[in-house]
Amino acid sequence: MSPQPPGNPPLLSAISVHSAPEAKALPRCTPPFAALPRISDSTRAAIAKAALAANDRYLYDFIEEYSFCPFARAGREAGQTVRYVHYADSLDLEPMLNIMEEVARDERIVVAQLILPLVEVTPEQWQEFCDTLTALGHARRGGAPVLAFAALHPQLSYTTSNPWAMIPLFRRAPDPTLQWARLQSLEELYAGRDTQTRVVDPADVLEYVRSAPKPRPPLYYRVTETNAKMAQLLGLAQVEAKLAAMAVDARATYHRLLMADNSETDHG
């Protein structure tokens, strides 16, 4: 399965570290969805192309359009992102684990997305699967975790109780998607943006301490609050409808492709 570099997964959607296993035994990971039907290579390629197009729409027309990740465009233009589409006609985890290992080894990749079109899975099941798959990948390679993960799903629940509770809204990608982000890169990004170094003459230290402004909140807090305000400004109902339309359109395209594949099979 070859990576698809165009597009850019949103950096700030991937800041959850997986629950690292404490025992030496490898974590158990079972896909919570049924295997998809076998299809022709041409239909598989067409579905992958459609999945990337749906993901482009989510990234360009939503994430970048409204700056829900202020670093998304820069990461894409720097070539630090990559996407993979996995048509899950088997429940074998090896293809997905191999992709994770490839991403973990290549330090040029900051953010990667693994898109699984057409799988039937609830948001809760997908969250748990992303967690355990990432934990299994880290356990197999050994050492400290190198990737954070985020579970993207078109039906994620959110509330408006606080900005943090609204984060799942921005993760409503058209397809169930496992997003990885390199921990070291995230730490460097936030550390660099949060640094507030000041050079002060020793004679003025006391006056500076008295008059200095309060430290700014950490970068991630500021972005989260800004995103919540932007979503409310746009209108939550409109945001939900925009994202839902992307998912519906993607599914309709997939089903048209599957129907065409079945027709070819029936008449071949």
Q: Is residue 41 part of a domain?
A: yes
Q: Is residue 4 part of a domain?
A: no
pTM of the model: 0.82
Q: Is residue 3 part of a domain?
A: no
Task: Give residue-wise pLDDT tens across range 75-92.
Answer: 888 999 999 999 999 999
Q: Is residue 241 part of a domain?
A: yes
pLDDT of residue 193: 46
Of residues 263, 162, 224, 231, the one with CA closest to residue 13: 224
Give CA–CA dist 8/111, Å, rounded. 8
Q: Total structural domains in the chain?
A: 1
Q: Is residue 6 part of a domain?
A: no
Give CA–CA dist 147/111, Å, rounded. 9
Task: Give residue-wise pLDDT tens across range 106-116.
Answer: 999 999 999 99
DSSP E strand boundaries for the chain: 16-17, 81-85, 111-115, 147-152, 177-182
Task: Give residue-wise pLDDT tens across range 185-244.
Answer: 877 765 544 444 444 445 544 554 455 455 555 666 788 999 999 999 999 999 999 999
Q: Is residue 208 part of a domain?
A: yes
